Amino acid sequence: MTRVHVWGASGYASAEAIRLLQTHPHATLGALESASHAGQALAEHFPLLRWSALRFDGPGAVLAAVAAGDVVLMGGSNGTAREHAPAFLARGARVIDLSADFRLDPSAVYGFPERYRDAIASARLVANPGCYPTAALLALLPLMALGVARQIVIDAKSGITGAGRNPAVGSLFAEVYGDVRAYGLNGHRHEPEIAHELSAVGQTAPFVFTPHVVPIARGMLVDAYVVYDHALDENVVRAAYEAAYEHRSMVRFLPADRAPSVTAVTGNNRAEVSATVHGTTVRAICAIDNLGKGAAGQAVQNFNVMHGYPEECGLDG
């Protein structure tokens, strides 16, 4: 059994990770640190943990408890992991960071197992990808084998939990309900992450990324349009996706007559992907749960890879 401590344990993604890890056959929970909720029962804050007897620990609990061989899952806000992760690493622990702090940092392995599985297996510090990049890259990366595109357009929609548990007024349900709201139009923080990963596979085409928040609690749908200078053969495109995901247990490439469903992936770590050809344009769609494959589920998947367990171990679906 591997002991997992959760630092910054009171956010949505952390709570989802705790839910998954509490029944994981190879994990046991250690300190659950939260400065804002110290001493309070998790059951008071998260309906999915209503049956749990666990309580939040106070500041410093993870550092006091961590030992060599442990894992620290960092769920704090952006900017905090970079300050605290070195102390956990110095104690001999391995760190999986849910924030954006290390995603573009060469000292960490990017925690996208569909591409970096071997590097994740031996990593001490894993930077869990953002939810938008996860869905966008699952939709786009199989196409990279077909050459450089002329233009990429990424239209993405996320549930409200993507804004975290302390959102701005504009992300409150009463503000979002009945609306589909585009935001981050002058540069979203996930845009450089997408650009970096596309560049890493030689894709230099310019892209436009438009994120939206929609009035659902959790879930994400990405529609990506990849434009080439020439017409493509749909059989060739489908073969590229089938080859990419044939042995990936968390990704399902759908038949040509089916589209990805947010409902089908809500509450689990699955991703559904489809691709269709329209002349010179490929339309690729991906559905994930922004708290599952887009955050906590992918963190547990990375935990599994780091310890040699099957990737689906402890994950629903």
What is the DSSP code (8-state) at residue 310?
Answer: -
The residue from 85, 109, 131, 149 that is catalytic is 131
59-62 LR contacts (CB < 8 Å, sep 24+) = 59/33, 59/35, 60/33, 61/5, 61/31, 61/32, 61/33, 62/5, 62/6, 62/7, 62/30, 62/31, 62/33, 62/88
What are the CA-CA distances from residue 154 to residues 86, 99, 159 (Å)?
Answer: 35, 22, 17
69 HSE (CA, 13 A, CB side):
5
Alpha carbons 60 and 260: distance in angstroms, whole number:
43
Active-site annotation holds for 286 = no
Q: Tell me which residues are annotated as active site.
A: 131
